[in-house]
Amino acid sequence: MRTYIARRVLHGLLVLWLVSLLIFSLVRILPGDAVIMQLDQAAAPTPETLMRARQELGLERPFLAQYRTWIAGAVHGDLGRSLITRRPVTQELLKRINLTSHLAVMSVIVAMLIALPIGVLSAVKQDTTSDYVGRFFAILGLSLPDFWLATVVITFLAIWVQWIPPIGFAPLWEDPARCLSQLLIPALIIGARLAAVSMRMTRSSLLEVLRQDYIRTARAKGMRERAVIVRHALKNAFIPVVTVIGQQFSVLLGGTVIVEFIFLQPGVGSLMLDAVLLRDYTLIQGAVLFFAAVIVVTNLLVDMSYAWLDPRIRYR
């Protein structure tokens, strides 16, 4: 187990290095200039002004010199300073990740509360009315885009109910009522789509497990159907479901740009969008590296959970 974890950590570090090199290169070939956007465009900055601004930001240095400075700081937790706001990138991310992490966790909880019961029921009651209804709602959830559903919901609330979620963000531990009023509806919208994916995966995985020989043996011994499902089938069926949840959670932490924009929530999605529009190279590359690390750690935790779900799995 330790050898496996060490090997995965080394692979993760290699992935992070490749991501850092790739994103550091790509942001510098984007059209536009962060220096020009930072200066007063109405004043038509002179070449001397542009050169002085680039020297202050360190953009006149060779590519490899800039990369070495940035990656050395990133190793110590310093992702540099934003070219636009001049504030530390780490500070900007931590200020926004609080909201996005709340939204991601709430969305996953909503999805699991919907997907697991309906997925299990559809598998146990295969080809019955319950199964058809569950599959219909799963396809419906996959067919409705998040941005369309969010627009419909916010329009309905504003016109027919005369209410919209409050703007801003309050952490759950500071003001639970305000936090839920702000994020519950966006979490339901995002969670509905995640629930559709997880529900179909739960159904198909559980159906495959229920056809195994050890399930037939348990039933032949006279074990009650509920005990067969709960004690023998569910844990083994959850391996693909946990994989999907881990992947979706990583994506959600990366920012739900459109939903955050529609509900005017200042999360990581809006931060990344502003950084791209303003060509804030340091913020873009710092945020991408941060979320690459989140994805690597999440995948490692998901892989480690397999041995607990299925004792037959052994790591070498």
Cα separation of 52 and 223, whole Å?
79
Which two tokens mark 308?
């607990």
Tell me what pLDDT residue 141 has. 82
CB atoms < 10 A from the CB of 223, how many? 14
Alpha-helical regions (H) of the chain: 2-26, 34-38, 47-57, 63-75, 89-124, 129-143, 146-156, 176-210, 213-220, 225-227, 234-253, 257-262, 268-277, 281-309
Instruction: For residue 88, list its beta bridge partners.
Output: 81
* 8 A C-beta contact, residue 122 and residue 199: yes
Cα separation of 260 and 266, whole Å?
7
Cα separation of 293 and 253, whole Å?
11
Which two tokens mark 264?
């005017």
Residues with Cβ within 8 Å of 186's Cβ and at least 6 positions away in sequence, in order, are: 103, 107, 150, 165, 256, 259, 260, 263, 265
User: Angle of helix 176-210 relative to helix 146-156, nearest 10 degrees?
Assistant: 140
Which two tokens mark 226?
């509920």
Determine the residue type at 138: A
pLDDT tens digits in sequence order for the chain, 316 residues long:
667 777 788 888 898 889 888 888 887 776 666 666 555 554 566 666 666 666 665 666 777 887 888 888 888 888 877 777 778 888 888 878 888 888 888 888 888 898 888 888 888 888 888 888 888 888 888 888 877 888 888 888 878 877 777 776 777 777 777 778 778 888 888 888 888 888 888 888 888 888 888 888 888 887 887 878 877 788 778 888 888 888 777 777 665 677 777 777 777 777 877 777 777 778 888 888 888 888 888 888 887 777 777 666 666 6
Cα separation of 70 and 286, whole Å?
9
Whole-model pTM above 0.85? no
Class of residue 239 by CB neighbours under 10 A (exposed 0-12, middle 13-18, buried 19+)? middle
Q: Tens digit of pLDDT for each residue in 61-74? A: 777 887 888 888 88
Tell me what pLDDT residue 255 has. 55
- Using DSSP, state whether 272 is helix, strand or coil: helix
Cα separation of 153 and 291, whole Å?
29
HSE-up (13 A, CA, CB side) for residue 144: 21
* 8 A C-beta contact, residue 99 and residue 182: no
Which two tokens mark 16?
């992070």
* 8 A C-beta contact, residue 179 and residue 102: yes
Q: Which domains does the chain have, with CATH numbers?
A: 89-277 (1.10.3720.10)
Tell me what pLDDT residue 80 has. 78
Tell me what pLDDT residue 42 has. 46
Which two tokens mark 205?
């995985």
Cα separation of 186 and 28, whole Å?
34
User: Angle of helix 89-124 relative to helix 234-253, nearest 10 degrees?
Assistant: 150
CA 142 to chain centre: 17
